[in-house]
Structure 1
Amino acid sequence: MGWLKRLFGLEKSENAQVNPQPQSLPQATSSTATATQTILPERLGLNGEYDESGLAKRVALAFDQDSQIDDINTLWVAQTGSTVVLKGKVPNQDILKKMVNVARSVNGTNAVDTTQVSIE
């Protein structure tokens, strides 16, 4: 099935990227119509849009794109701010280490929390 589909119910769109360029958001000020603000890296969605769960979705996409990481249906990906949170069970420590390295490579990840992961 894939990480993105299983965790978020999303099919990978053709423009989806692990590290997309952020879109500009209009700023809520009346002084200028051209003012923009940048989306925080952890809130950046798959296509550069604002997404509250953007980092977790981009990590799931990165897992899907890594041929060494299979979809593990006993593991979930979440985020708390710029921290990627992995929860559940993995078959072995080597797979967990690989997943942590992939998650760290995603723009906006400041830490990866594995305290809620157990090794089967």
Structure 2
Amino acid sequence: MGFLKRIFKQDKPAGASITAGRRPGAKKASTPKKTAAAPTAAAANNAPSSSPAAENEIPLCKIGLTGEFDESGLAKRVTLAFDEDSQLDDVETLWVAQLSSKVVLKGKVPSQAILDKMIAVAKDVDGATAVDTSQVEIG
């Protein structure tokens, strides 16, 4: 059993990727477009600096395995990355979570070398800005 199956109780879906929807030929991940009336000149002058397109983008940490919106998207893509790395076996005593764009590893790993490899793999997943290992025990 792999990390994805054990932690999220799901098999790897067809087309799953750790690259946050940037697979060749994949559509850019976004939420449905909002429709709004054209702004007046006064409203345009007071409008925030972000563009409407930016408001519709899914944050990288919320993009799921196949480019869909998923609150646990980053954690799922990290578990998939662990499963796809031939040097990592499923460590049944380790769990993966996320706090926004921070990957949180919890539990116990057999060695510092395995933890270091997991940190490197997790940092390489699109949308991961940090990896918290404060809840990991070695041994």
TM (norm. structure 2) is 0.80
Amino acid aligned to 1:25: T
- For 2:37, what is the secondary structure of its paired residue? coil
Q: Which has the larger radius of gyration?
A: 2
Quote the residue 1:106 is aligned against. 125
1:43 to 54, 62, 66: 62
Tell me by how many angstroms 1:31 deviates. 2.6
Tell me by how many angstroms 1:14 deviates. 1.7
Quote the residue 1:95 is aligned against. 114
TM (norm. structure 1) is 0.93
1:18 aligns with 2:22: no
Amino acid aligned to 2:83: D
Distance in 2, matches of 1:55 and 1:61, equals 10
Quote the residue 1:52 is aligned against. 71
Quote the residue 1:118 is aligned against. 137
Distance in 1, matches of 2:35 and 2:62, equals 21
1:65 aligns with 2:114: no
Tell me by how many angstroms 1:27 deviates. 3.5
Distance in 2, matches of 1:114 and 1:24, equals 31
Q: Name stretches of at least 5 consecutive residues in structure 1 with no aligned partner.
A: none
Tell me by how many angstroms 1:28 deviates. 3.6
Quote the residue 2:5 is aligned against. 5
Q: Name stretches of at least 5 consecutive residues in structure 2 with no aligned partner.
A: 23-27, 39-51
Amino acid aligned to 1:17: S
Quote the residue 1:30 is aligned against. 36
* Identical-residue share of aligned pairs (%): 55
Number of aligned positions between the proteins: 118
